Structure 1
Amino acid sequence: MNSQRLQRNDPPRPVAYDVDGNPLYAEPPTAPRASSTLYDVSGKEGAPHYHAPRPEANLPRMSSEVRRRHDESVMAFPNLNLSEQEYIISVVRRHPIGMLPAIVMSTLMTSIVLALMFNYDYIFDLLHLPASASGSFMLLCMALILAFILGGYVSVWVYTRNMFYLTNESVIQEIQTSIFSHTEQTVSLMNIEDASYNQRGVLQAMFNYGSIRLSTEGDETTYRFSFVANPKQEIATLNNAVEDFKNGRPVAND
């Protein structure tokens, strides 16, 4: 250790002398050379391994207003899979007039069974049925009433479960055809090529309902949603959202 320290403190050694013994020039000090041996992360010789932090994604900063609307949308519609900066602009529900067939049919059948129950003695006399069968007849009528009421309720529930959501990024359509059949379709606003509505007949004009139609680019898929209340206004809102999204402007609900 001492010898190495002395060598570092010695003056440069001359490499040539004149006739009188004076040094002509000295060898300049040289810096120690670094070893060219490469080491991997485990300390063994081999190919080097470089570790660098992964660059963070350059995402646009979310404003407080967008965050608020996103949180409100998630709380109001927890069943929807919304992206980090996505929020609901409008919710399109079916017109109540579409529930009338199920309600009328359920009410009519229930009324018929109730009429039979209150006039069972006349029916028994007409059909010459024994009086001992009255208990079974009443149970059958009650079971039919329960079935008709339950059937009407399920029909209305399935009808109202069909909804159409417009967000600042996409259109989400929920399709419910039965209790155990549910489909969700999502299409980006960028892919919507055409959006239109249709009203036909006196009833649709009087009660202001109709159907809307969306067509997409590329695969040319068509989406339809019927019994839409105020379809003209809904299509105007949708077209404005598509135009704003494609032009890079913030999508508003006005």
Structure 2
Amino acid sequence: MNQGDMPVGETPPPYEGPSRATQSWSDSGQKVVQTQSHVTIQPGMQPGQNYDPRIRSQYANEPGVIHTTRPYNPVVGEPSAEAMRRHQESRERYPFLNLSAGEYVILEVHRHPIGMLAQIFISIIAIILLLSLMILYPSIAETVVEADMPSQAVVVPAILGLCGIIAVISYIAAWVYMRNTFFLTNESVIQELQFSLLSHKEQTVSLGSIEDVSYRRQGLLQVMFDYGSIRLSTEGEESTYRFHYVASPKQQTAILSNAVEAFKNGRPVDD
């Protein structure tokens, strides 16, 4: 019956979605047809990867779908005393991190110092050349008689100033390099990216959103000095996060993988 054909004052029955028909035969030989709505069926449990796998199912009027309810005001569990103690320690040690209640830092990973070798080597060579020029300048000035050479009182402060500028630039480059860090907490991975003195970026990924953790180590130097890159891939938009020049990447990847597995299975994330 269409809604327009119903008597005035009566409301149509609620729509229960598509139904599934089952046929059976009674003892008298008559065919019995029973219908069952897909939407109104709610199984007790389904396999999945979340605390309650039923929540991961999509809403759709299709066979096998699962509907679940969520409270308007969900009950938030209180963190344990140990978690709050470690949370307070992490807040004091890392005041720049945005940690939620009960969240604490488990692992702190810095870049391997080998990534600064090229910058340090170039700076040292430049300073040595400038100091050699300052020492040899009197002899050079005596040799070149016809040229109008500046006095040593002008050249020495200029060379020392250049050496100071190179040293400051090298220090800033090393500071920016070492500021690139990522932290593993009992709830997420926080990546601190420092591009320059005035350029900073922070990325936070929940452990529940991480699908794959892998590392890559290639080349003679990376094998000899045990460093490489770590890759995190997340579900949804398939975002990928990379962290380069990681010391002991195999060990760090194992810790990250164990933390993700423990978080998804509802177990405590330990060190």
TM-score normalised over the length of structure 1 = 0.75
Match of 1:217 in 2: 235
Match for 2:225 among 193, 200, 207?
207
Query: After superposition, what is the alpha-carbon deviation per residue over 1:168-187, rounded to whole angstroms, capped at 9, x for unaligned?
Result: 11001011111111110111
Q: Per the alignment, do residues 89 and 132 of structure 1 end up closer, same or farther by CA in structure 2, a change over 3 Å counting?
A: closer
Shift in Å, 1:232: 0.4
Separation (CA, whole Å) in 2 of partners of 1:56 and 1:193 = 29
Match of 1:195 in 2: 213
Shift in Å, 1:137: 1.1
What is the RMSD of the two structures over their aligned residues, measured on CA atoms? 1.6
Query: After superposition, what is the alpha-carbon deviation per residue over 1:108-163, rounded to whole angstroms, capped at 9, x for unaligned?
Result: 11111111111111222344445652222112101110111111101110110000
Amino acid at match of 1:162: N
Alignment of 1:1-254 (within 5 A): 58-128=75-145, 129-130=147-148, 133-253=151-271
Q: Per the alignment, do residues 136 and 64 of structure 1 end up closer, same or farther by CA in structure 2, a change over 3 Å counting?
A: same
Shift in Å, 1:95: 0.8
TM-score normalised over the length of structure 2 = 0.70
Q: Specify every segment of 5 or more residues in structure 1 that has no aligned partner in the other structure, as ranges.
A: 1-54
Indicate the structure (1 or 2) with the bigger Cα radius of gyration. 1
Helix, strand or coil at the partner of 1:139: helix
Amino acid at match of 2:114: I
Match of 1:25 in 2: none
Separation (CA, whole Å) in 1 of partners of 2:74 and 2:257 = 31
Separation (CA, whole Å) in 1 of partners of 2:122 and 2:159 = 17
Query: After superposition, what is the alpha-carbon deviation per residue over 1:25-67, rounded to whole angstroms, capped at 9, x for unaligned?
Result: xxxxxxxxxxxxxxxxxxxxxxxxxxxxxx9862212211101
Amino acid at match of 2:187: E
Helix, strand or coil at the partner of 1:107: helix
Q: Per the alignment, do residues 244 and 140 of structure 1 end up closer, same or farther by CA in structure 2, a change over 3 Å counting?
A: same
- Tell me the matched-pair count: 199
Separation (CA, whole Å) in 2 of partners of 1:103 and 1:57 = 54
Amino acid at match of 1:111: I
Helix, strand or coil at the partner of 1:83: coil
Separation (CA, whole Å) in 1 of partners of 2:140 and 2:74 = 78
